[in-house]
Chain A
């Protein structure tokens, strides 16, 4: 058990929690929160892999930075989509959103 394994296990915990949230949550906002958890796990694993092995440091750190930027873009788009869905269907409960053509 070295530090690398410790950090990767922390990232896996984040991944597992996020996966459970995605399957268990009933609203779109709850699922968005779970996606953010999983993205954080990915970033943590990337940084741990680049910092604690002979790999190139900058690759992991900048990769995580790009993941953060993508997460921000994704959150913006998802916010707009959630707004539209809640206007059209009157709810963000995924069980009630069953029509393809609004």
Chain B
């Protein structure tokens, strides 16, 4: 198993580099693109990169869920948000940069990321070899055992969120 994950080119598995490139390029497009549809495409590429990393860590169920929930559902929702908020004047789905604050944003993001990266590199515990894959049945047992309360709570949260969204939609129609 160690051979499978491990590390050939300068201590890094080649597939890891590929997925990292997906994540960085997609994330950069998602953050920097002027058109929101392009930003969403960048987000989708990033999501696939993260799914690949889950696969690399031998968590195929999570990779599948990542593609199913994020790529399948969340991005479609965001795409609807882009479509429904297009204004008649001006080009739809684009945005202008916030002038003057871009530099501050870079500073804030870089500072916090670098501090966290320094902490991670300095204090990271020793990694062990990749453990054998957790079976889906074991995950299900855990979900209905120790995680039962969280499982029920997330169902309630999802229901409340959907009901709230519908309610907000009705309110908008009445106000019109």
Contact = CB atoms under 8 A, between A and B. Distances in A.
Partners in one complex: yes
Interface of A: 1-10, 12-30, 32-34, 36-37, 40, 43-44, 47-48, 51-54, 57-58, 61-62, 64-66, 68-84, 86-88, 90-93, 95
Contacts of A29: 36, 78, 81-82, 85
Interface of B: 5-7, 11-13, 16, 19-20, 23-24, 27-28, 30-31, 36, 39-40, 43, 46-47, 50, 53-54, 57-59, 61-62, 65-66, 69-70, 73-74, 77-78, 80-82, 84-85, 87, 95-98, 101-102, 104-106, 108-110, 112-113, 116-117, 120-121, 124-128, 130-131, 134, 138-139, 142-143, 147, 150, 154, 157-158, 160-162, 164-165, 168-169, 171-172, 175-176
B95 A4 contact: no
B53 A44 contact: yes
Nearest to A20: B109
Contacts of A26: 95-98
Given A40-B70, A84-B171, 9 more contacts: A3-B5, A3-B13, A10-B23, A15-B112, A26-B95, A61-B59, A74-B161, A91-B87, A93-B95
